[in-house]
Amino acid sequence: AQSVTQLDSQVPVFEEAPVELRCNYSSSVSVYLFWYVQYPNQGLQLLLKYLSGSTLVESINGFEAEFNKSQTSFHLRKPSVHISDTAEYFCAVMATGGSYIPTFGRGTSLIVHP
């Protein structure tokens, strides 16, 4: 079975500051990794995913995440945040074989202040 730990329940930052949202996972097999974002009053939507190949993956709105196998981490970063990035961010893990159902973390609330 897989598990996900999001170390911070809430991360407040000022606009244009850099941010890192931390995610660690546990698995005995190789995994796919995902970040989903949930804006207020909306469902979750895929932000980015790591399947294989380059360990650095990027989203269209400036977020990036790096798969670190030795540290079993998949931290999400953005060099300069906007007010519109205020949302709940969920890290998820899925085994590459076996169960097709992802395991989600508890979520991190990113709050961007003007």
Partner 1 sequence: ETGVTQTPRHLVMGMTNKKSLKCEQHLGHNAMYWYKQSAKKPLELMFVYNFKEQTENNSVPSRFSPECPNSSHLFLHLHTLQPEDSALYLCASSQLSAGANVLTFGAGSRLTVL
Q: Determine phi and psi for 100, rounding to 5 degrees.
A: -95, 5
Shortest Å distance, C-beta 15 to partner 1: 26
Helix (H, G, I), strand (E, B) or coil at 13: strand
Residues of this chain, 67-106, that bind partner 1 according to CB under 8 A: 90, 94, 100-102, 104-106
Q: Given candidates 47, 89, 107, 110, which one binds partner 1 under the rule CB under 8 A?
A: 107
CB of 109 to partner 1, least distance (A): 10
Which of 1, 17, 46, 83 touches partner 1 by CB under 8 A?
46
Using CB under 8 A as the binding rule, whether residue 60 contacts partner 1 is answered as: no
The torsion region of residue 66 among left (phi > 0), alpha (psi -120 to 50) and beta comes to beta
Q: How far is CA 106 from each of CA 62, 77, 83, rounded to the nearest angstrom?
A: 23, 18, 22
